[in-house]
Every structure is written in C-alpha cells, then in structure tokens.
A and B are shown apart, each in its own frame.
Chain A
Amino acid sequence: DTGVSQNPRHKITKRGQNVTFRCDPISEHNRLYWYRQTLGQGPEFLTYFQNEAQLEKSRLLSDRFSAERPKGSFSTLEIQRTEQGDSAMYLCASSLGLGAGYGYTFGSGTRLTVV
C-alpha cells in the first residue's frame, strides 16, 4: 500500500466553476476524513466517513460542498460555484480508529486556487 493518494495536487479554477477532488485512502482503513487548511494554520474539519456512510459534516461545509464515498473505498469532494474564499489546501486522511495506537495518515493534499 502506498499510503493516501490525492488528485490532483494542484487546481486553479475560475470563480464560479465547479471542481472535484479525489482521495484514495489506505485500503484497510474504514475511516476517511476531509479537512481544509489555509497557509500556516491548522487543518479545519470538513466531513467524516465510516465506510460508505457520511457520519458528520462541519458547519463550515456549505451547501456548495458535497462529499461521497461510494462503496467505502475512494472519496470525492466537490465544490460547486467556487468562490475566492474557497482557496486553500484540501487534505484527506484515513485511519483504522482514533486515540491510543491510532492516528491519521494524510495525503499530500490538493491545493485549490480560485481566481
């Protein structure tokens, strides 16, 4: 297993366009998370899947954002009608659990720039 893979690494889009990001987690990890990070700040939670079920969504996730994890494998994060404020690094992480003995494995992220 090569870890968590995110594509694309970089995306530049015009304001108002839709974008979709993909995350391929570690295959045996049932938990998958999406976070958003602006430069020099800590990641902010967006949403969480356990297998194919989306169990939690942040209030940060407006109705322009949607995430899916069909069949409990890869996940996609779509942003519709992008705004300049959406410019950030979007991080995906997977894990087997949380707490002692468990941690997140992050992908390298997708850097979104909205112009």
Chain B
Amino acid sequence: TQLLEQSPQFLSIQEGENLTVYCNSSSVFSSLQWYRQEPGEGPVLLVTVVTGGEVKKLKRLTFQFGDARKDSSLHITAAQPGDTGLYLCAGLYGGATNKLIFGTGTLLAVQP
C-alpha cells in the first residue's frame, strides 16, 4: 500500500508552460523531500521541507509543504525540456523514522 499518492501520474506539456505536481497522504510527515530521476539513473535530491506551510524556491521550482504536513506540491514555472524526468516525493513518518517512504511518482515530459 502506497502511503504517498502523487498526481498526476503522467504529464506531457510544451516548453514554456507551467505545471503543478501534488503529493498527498493521510499521515503526518515529520519532513518531506522531493527528488528528480532521469532515465537509467538514481533519484537526485531537490529539496527538503520540514515546517508546515513552508515554501522553498529552487530557480523555477517552488515547493510547498501543507500546513498540516500531510501534503506537498511542486510548481514549475516556464518548463524546459531539461525538466523532463520522474518527480518523486518522499516522507519521513513518525512511525517509520529510519527510512524514506516514496510516493507513486509523476512522469513529466516537456516537449520543445
């Protein structure tokens, strides 16, 4: 059973468009991370959010942690083909603090 549901599962957009990816759970996270994975490679850490309501920006990427720390979103402004990849959220739960639980993933394709 996946504790972290991501939506949409797949997104194909044109270069220059904006998009938002969602990560939802019924459980409270002590912290949440976002990773990006390119084909044939391992995921790479983008950001960690810890505080409810926290917003972090990484160039054209904006990450938000929900007030109740049960959900998160990733917004990309003016998407570029280099943003193409599998986006994964991953959380630490109070009852499982030794490891990250990963979300179901959102596959993003940005067409030039």
Contacts and interface: CB of A to CB of B under 8 A. Distances in A.
Interface of A: 4, 33, 35, 40-45, 48, 55-56, 91, 93, 98-109, 111
A98 B104 CA distance: 20
| Interface size range on B against A | 20 to 34
A101 B44 contact: no
Contacts of A103: 33, 45, 48
Contacts, number: 71
B31 A99 contact: yes
Q: Is the interface of B mostly helix, strand, loop or mixed?
A: strand
Contact of B107 (A40, A43, A102, A108): A40
A45 B88 contact: no
Given A40-B9, A42-B104, 11 more contacts: A40-B10, A40-B105, A42-B90, A43-B88, A45-B101, A48-B98, A55-B98, A98-B92, A103-B48, A104-B90, A106-B43
Given A42-B88, A99-B31, A103-B48, A56 B42 contact: no
